[in-house]
Amino acid sequence: MTSEPAPSLRLLHLSDVHFGRVNPALIAPMLRAVEGLAPDLVVISGDLTQRARPAQFAAARGFLDRLPVPWMAVPGNHDIPLDRPFRRFFRPFGAYRRAIGADLAPVVDLPGLSVLGLNTATPRHWQAGRIAPARFLALLARVRAAKARNQIVAVVAHHPFSQPPGTDKQLMTGAATALEALAAAGADLVLSGHLHHWAIAPLAAPEGGARLLQVQAGTALSTRERGEPNDFALIEISRGRAARLAIARHAAGPGGDFGAIARQVYVRQGDHWVLQEAPARAPGAVPQSGKMPGEVSAPSSNFDR
């Protein structure tokens, strides 16, 4: 008797594209990468622009319109006009809503997967972001409903819920409590950005394994790389006897084309995600500081940077 192959889905996670500070040489390679990988959905975790100018949003929307697959986005702090006080405090998302979409927390349901947006950008706490209680309670209700339908749940938010040690940016207020609540509700993945540093963090399980994985993508297209290559994440989700997540980092090489440089596979065991495969260097990998950016090597830290 032959078993049916497990249905699988592909999410392509971009972050911090920052139109206004984009490297234009990366746009065509990025579009080629998306076309070649053929994800079911592209997820953009905020900072679509550099300074939230209408022209920058128009350029961002022009890029999104060229994607050959469906996409969803949430705003980042740079999508609120920091240096325009009236707009910042009274119409913080006016230009975003007109160009990108009226819904700041979109939801996309795919077979076996629910992708839930959360807006963490706010005019007052511009840099650190904030989790508004009412928004978060609504999100938790959606997480629980999706788990009741036996879906894998990915939450998309610009600001990470946990940061690597030594990060020079302030963590969102209440992030640790919110992370615990998300894990308790059964969320599987958090897709975030903001730091312009790649990291996969197994979280919310001090005894080993992870109840929840945070994938923090770097900057996909901007010149604000902070010493790292431009990158994005490809997340393949399959539902066989056990759920499985394969998370690959694709980075821009010297010629501009994006290619996989690191990959991790997690398998669901009970209420935990367990790392199945040690990260391996992909063909054509770009070495960085003698350490592949997919390795989990620091036992004192949950972060893979």
Binding site for Fe ion (CB under 5 A): 16, 47, 76-77, 194
Q: Any idea of the CA torsion for 63, 95, 124, 87, to the nearest 10 degrees?
A: 150
Give the nearer residue to Fe ion in terms of CB position, either 82 or 110. Answer: 82
Residue 196 Cβ vs Fe ion, minimum distance, rounded to whole Å: 6
Q: 73 by DSSP, 3-state: which?
A: strand
Residue 271 Cβ vs Fe ion, minimum distance, rounded to whole Å: 31
Give the nearer residue to Fe ion in terms of CB position, either 45 or 114. Answer: 45
CB 252 within 8 A of CB 231: yes
Residue 305 Cβ vs Fe ion, minimum distance, rounded to whole Å: 16
Give the nearer residue to Fe ion in terms of CB position, either 225 or 257. Answer: 225
Residue 48 Cβ vs Fe ion, minimum distance, rounded to whole Å: 10
Q: Any idea of the CA torsion for 46, 48, 54, 59, to the nearest 10 degrees?
A: -150
Report residue 145 as tokens.
């409903």
Q: How many whole angstroms separate alpha carbon 65 and alpha carbon 107?
A: 19
Give the nearer residue to Fe ion in terms of CB position, either 47 or 231. Answer: 47
Give the nearer residue to Fe ion in terms of CB position, either 47 or 304. Answer: 47
Strands (DSSP E) contained in 141-203 are: 152-157, 189-192, 199-203
Residue 163 Cβ vs Fe ion, minimum distance, rounded to whole Å: 12
